[in-house]
């Protein structure tokens, strides 16, 4: 993990002129993956900390899980990688699982809060 990860996280992902259509398709693929314990997809849960797409359509996904003891801690990054690879035009895919900063309920999107009856 980079020394400035928290700064980079707070600023948002750095993107180098990606094809917005490819990025949008990746987001849609990520929205098909659900946390096994919460009936909301991983994107709306806020488990995707970074989605970087280069001009060459190489993709880096930085993600976390709700807890290190999540039952899918070993399989979820592979599932994310497989889904991203399904998008036409994507070349290299790197999925990094991080635990810092830890996930908490503040990372939920408005859609997730609505789905969970928190609004």
**How many Å apart are CA 100 and CA 114, to the nearest integer?**
26
pLDDT in tens, 79-103: 999 999 999 999 999 999 999 999 9
Q: According to the model, what pLDDT value does residue 8 have? A: 53
68-82 pLDDT tens trace: 888 888 999 999 999
What is the token pair recorded at 71?
């039952």
For 5-105, CATH number? 3.30.300.130
Phi, psi of 5, rounded to the nearest 5 degrees: -55, -45
- Domains in the chain: boundaries: 5-105
- Give pLDDT tens digits for 3-41: 555 555 555 544 444 468 999 999 999 999 998 888 899
């Amino acid at each position: 993990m980079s020394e400035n990860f928290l700064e980079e996280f707070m600023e948002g992902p750095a993107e180098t002129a990606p094809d917005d259509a490819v990025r949008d398709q990746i987001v849609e693929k990520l929205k098909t993956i659900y946390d096994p314990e919460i009936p909301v997809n991983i994107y709306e849960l806020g488990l995707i900390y970074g989605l970087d797409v280069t001009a060459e359509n190489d993709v880096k996904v930085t993600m976390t899980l709700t807890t290190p003891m999540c039952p899918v801690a070993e399989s979820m990054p592979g599932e994310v990688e497989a889904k991203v690879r399904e998008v036409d035009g994507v070349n290299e895919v790197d999925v990094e699982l991080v635990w810092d900063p830890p996930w908490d309920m503040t990372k939920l999107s408005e859609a997730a809060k609505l789905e969970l009856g928190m609004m």
